[in-house]
């Protein structure tokens, strides 16, 4: 699709008239295209006016139900701002310095920006961004690093049962191979992400449900991933307590 053709999708996007797959593609385009974001923003404000024009009385009983439900609903944590992220970074630098700290800084900035962009999207992304923010702002977060045998190094930042794994300087694999991330626990090994061939040299993955008795393992698998690891891990990281 040419640049011009992509640009004409702003209207369909603002009217929620894109099929889901095209919507996702356009979402990605939006991150690159400031002019499109501005236009989508204006056209969304326009469709909102179309929506407001068809107001009709909401069922009266709904009010009490909504109010009862919010009493039992936790609000999302706010997205961490750039300013606060810098403050948090300073703290990290006070911790043992070296490659771990600088790598963590890169992770924090990368994921933080990612979180900011994602937060504008729908729920699932909202929750993911929420999790990132929660991990990086958790005062009890812990981190661990390890070298990857085939090149590069990985870092795991853990807060409660959630963790973020990031690796940099990773050796790119042939197209028919993929990196895969595993949680190795007392009950066996489970996959937590088929990560692709790392042709950018970077890997980034959320991991849910980790315990400090677990280990995180990275293996090379056939494209599409495996049910269980089929090769010796190129990296094993104990989940820090």
Partner 1 sequence: MTEGKSREDSVVIVPSLRRSRPQHADDAPATLDDLVMRVARGDTAAFEAVYDRLADVVFGVIRRVLRDPAQSEEVAQEVLVEVWRTATRFDPDKGGASTWVLTMAHRRAIDRVRSAQAAHDREERVAHRDHVPAFDEVAEQVETRLEQEQVRRCLGNLTELQRESVTLAYYGGYTYREVGELLDVPLGTVKTRLRDGLIRLRDCMGVEA
Judged by the rule CB under 8 A, the positions of this chain that interact with partner 1 are 5, 8-12, 14-20, 38, 41-59, 62-63, 65-67, 69-71, 73-81, 83-84, 119-120, 122-123, 126, 133, 137
Residues belonging to the chain: 241
**Two tokens at 77?**
């944590």
Q: Which is nearer to partner 1, 5 or 28 (CB)?
A: 5
Q: Which is nearer to partner 1, 54 or 187 (CB)?
A: 54
Q: Report, in Å, the least distance between residue 94 CB and partner 1.
A: 17
Q: Report, in Å, the least distance between residue 109 CB and partner 1.
A: 16
Q: Report, in Å, the least distance between residue 149 CB and partner 1.
A: 37
* Strands, E assignment, 148-201: 153-159, 162-168, 177-185, 188-196
CA distances from 195 to 13, 167, 170, 218 (A): 29, 11, 12, 10
Q: Report, in Å, the least distance between residue 110 CB and partner 1.
A: 18
Residues contacting 65, CB < 8 A, separation 6+: none
Longest dimension (CA), the chain: 64
Q: Report, in Å, the least distance between residue 18 CB and partner 1.
A: 7
Q: Which is nearer to partner 1, 57 or 96 (CB)?
A: 57
Residues contacting 207, CB < 8 A, separation 6+: 156, 162, 163, 164, 165, 181, 183, 192, 193, 216
DSSP 238: E
Q: Which is nearer to partner 1, 114 or 151 (CB)?
A: 114
Q: Which is nearer to partner 1, 10 or 219 (CB)?
A: 10
């Amino acid at each position: 699709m040419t640049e011009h053709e992509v640009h004409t999708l702003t209207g369909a996007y603002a009217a929620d008239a894109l099929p889901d797959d095209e919507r996702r593609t356009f979402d990605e385009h939006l991150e690159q295209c400031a002019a499109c974001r501005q236009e989508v923003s204006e056209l969304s404000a326009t469709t909102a006016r179309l929506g407001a024009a068809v107001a009709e009385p909401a069922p009266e009983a709904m009010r009490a139900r909504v109010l009862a439900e919010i009493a039992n609903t936790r609000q999302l944590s706010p997205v961490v701002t750039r300013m606060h992220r810098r403050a948090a970074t300073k703290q990290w630098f006070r911790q043992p310095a070296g490659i771990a700290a600088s790598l963590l800084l890169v992770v924090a900035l990368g994921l933080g920006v990612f979180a900011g962009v994602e937060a504008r999207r729908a729920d699932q992304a909202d929750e993911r961004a929420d999790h990132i923010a929660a991990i990086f702002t958790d005062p009890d977060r812990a981190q661990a690093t390890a070298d990857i045998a085939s090149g590069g190094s990985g870092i795991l930042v853990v807060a409660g049962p959630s963790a973020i794994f990031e690796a940099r300087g990773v050796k790119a694999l042939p197209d028919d191979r993929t990196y895969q991330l595993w949680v190795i626990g007392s009950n066996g090994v489970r996959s937590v992400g088929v990560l692709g061939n790392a042709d950018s040299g970077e890997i980034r993955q959320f991991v849910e449900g980790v315990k400090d008795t677990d280990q995180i393992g990275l293996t090379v698998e056939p494209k599409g991933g495996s049910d269980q690891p089929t090769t010796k891990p190129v990296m094993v990281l104990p989940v820090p307590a």
